[in-house]
Chain A
């Protein structure tokens, strides 16, 4: 019932942005913000609980969980100890953020480069026509997206260099493919939303049967 009321209100308020739908729309949006703010706290506490269970039970790789707990407590205690201005430059919280959190987070994301290179080496094969087409397109985009591409084709007139070819691939074949995917997703979202609003699909409230 709640799902149906909220869902229908959002749909109606999109097309009739007047009282009372605009007001209800605002209420539900505010409630969503409140629920999400609570979910952030819940998520953090759940992470702490699961990590603590792992450490207490000495389960596999429990050392990493201990690091999570220590880091969590360290940043929380420092944050609270420094009061409302904890994020200002020069604070201990800011030092931890700039010198530890940023480099560690960037490191995690940059590991992607190694996996992409390794996966490309081992799995990016010209097995058939479609795979070869993908391989050739990837080659032109990769070389055309960096300045070295235009260094190689510098003798060609403007409009025919690797960067131009990469832009063409991104603007036309790639965009067409993306658009097809988006239309497919859009139709899927509409159908799933209708099922949820009408109560046919109840997996989101824990009753999949």
Chain B
């Protein structure tokens, strides 16, 4: 079979799987979940097979990259069906965001800058949902905006989910009074800079086209001086770095951030200097934030996948180094 035929076959198989899962989701299928003993057995089998690969490597029989791909796929997918609980300590960086929100008085205005898009939503969407939930529970007023085109749309998905929760729905929150989505504005960091002078100059209307002055929540919000706390969800440029450099340094905004795991290390210096009040880094940051807020969501659920996949990657790094040492410190792994 030619490579092109294999590719087409793989695409067809993925398409069929996707359709089946979509139809299942539409029909209200409940996700299957392994019991705790079965889950432990699956993890044990996975780890035992890695030991077997290590033994093969010591014997000089090396594995190809496709085997690594297979293990990563299993490590990510299988835990989604497992029922294993994990306890996560809340790091000081995450606690910082939570504490700042808890300090705010009911009625305080919180600006949520959603500067991300669907590729990074698995990490950042759980943060957005938890943050919005806490704000509504604390009766804070939420103003959403984004300098990434899809950010406000992602925020709407989070709002839709949180507003449907019985506890939040019972509050009968009103759009334009309790929360508002100002939408996307092009201009990267210049949008932040102009917001320092006037929000209205950058957001003439909200996400749905309602004029700025007709929205009760923001009618009296002129610039950052009317905002009590700002939370930035960022997955790249423009993002947290620009918010710190302009909104924090120039206009004195009180800022917390949620970043992807890839980006988080680049903003750590702002955390230790006090320019950021707290930082949620990647999926673990989302899970820790959920723990701090005592609300287990997707972040906590996906952490099991992350735990197992980290173990698998560490195992392969060890196996690769064993192969390296066994081959007399020459790179033996190819392809």
Contact = CB atoms under 8 A, between A and B. Distances in A.
The answer to whether A binds B is yes
Interface of A: 14, 22, 25-26, 29-30, 32-33, 36-37, 40, 84-85, 87, 89, 97-99, 101-103, 105-106, 108-110, 113-114, 116-118, 120-127, 135, 138-139, 142-143, 145-148, 150-151, 158, 161, 163, 167, 170-171, 174-175, 178-179, 182
Contacts, number: 162
Interface string B303-327: 1001111111110110111001000
B186 interface: yes
A151 B258 CA distance: 26
A175 B116 CA distance: 24
Interface residues of B, number: 71
A13 to B, nearest CB: 10
A106 B118 CA distance: 6
A105 B88 contact: no
B197, B282, B308 pick with most chain A CB within 10 angstroms: B197
A40 B91 contact: no
Contacts of B185: 33
Contact of B320 (A106, A125, A142, A147): A125
20 contacts: A33-B202, A36-B187, A110-B122, A114-B72, A121-B319, A122-B334, A126-B321, A135-B317, A135-B321, A138-B317, A142-B310, A142-B313, A148-B86, A150-B87, A163-B89, A163-B91, A167-B93, A170-B265, A171-B268, A175-B271
A113 B76 CA distance: 9
A146 B307 contact: yes
B309 A175 contact: no
B117 interface: yes
A167 B65 contact: no
Contacts of A113: 72, 76, 309
A30 B118 contact: no
Interface of B: 18, 22, 65, 68-69, 71-73, 76, 86-89, 91-93, 117-122, 149, 153, 156-157, 160, 185-188, 190-191, 193-194, 197, 201-202, 207-209, 250, 261, 265-266, 268-269, 271-272, 282, 284, 303, 306-314, 316-317, 319-321, 324, 329, 331, 333-334
A99 B89 CA distance: 34
B194, B261, B265, B268 pick with most chain A CB within 10 angstroms: B268
B106 to A, nearest CB: 29
B118 A33 contact: no
A97 B121 CA distance: 13
B61 to A, nearest CB: 15
Contact of B201 (A26, A122, A146): A26
B305 to A, nearest CB: 10
A157 to B, nearest CB: 13
A32 B190 contact: yes
